[in-house]
Structure 1
């Protein structure tokens, strides 16, 4: 089995900037468990941009009443 290549991991600030959100918003999402996947490396929190992009794809909606069927 071949391991996947390691990609650059983003800090909280870098990921918040990329998502046009605040660091506090990312922290709140982590606390509630409804934000993008993250890694905890000791005390440091890091985000894999590929995993965040996958998470974002699950958030797409067609209208306000849409309860979760992601756009294909």
Structure 2
């Protein structure tokens, strides 16, 4: 995997907000409350790994054909 490809696997909070349809304030609140998706922080820069976002969405998937 090239370094350029590896960099593209990290998303900023606006990209995550666009993908998940969670507001920026919700993402920020989740970080403050230590819930939601894992993230990395360097200084003031927050980044989410694409794999973590995809896993989070898959874990919160609801299949209406499954009866509980």
Q: TM-score, normalised by structure 1?
A: 0.68
Whose strand proportion is higher, 1 or 2? 2
Which residue number corresponds to residue 44 of structure 1? 45
Aligned partners of 1:16 and 1:26 also within 8 Å = yes
How far is 1:42 from its partner?
A: 1.8
Which residue number corresponds to residue 6 of structure 2? 6
Secondary structure of the residue aligned to 1:6 is helix
- Between 1 and 2, higher relative CO (CA 8 Å, sep ≥ 6) is seen in 2
How far is 1:33 from its partner?
A: 1.5
Q: Which ranges of structure 2 fall in alignment gaps of 5 or more residues?
A: none
Q: Alignment length, in residue pairs?
A: 60
Matches within 5 A, 1:23-62: 23-61=24-62
Secondary structure of the residue aligned to 1:21 is coil
Whose helix proportion is higher, 1 or 2? 2
Q: TM-score, normalised by structure 2?
A: 0.71
Which residue number corresponds to residue 17 of structure 2? 16
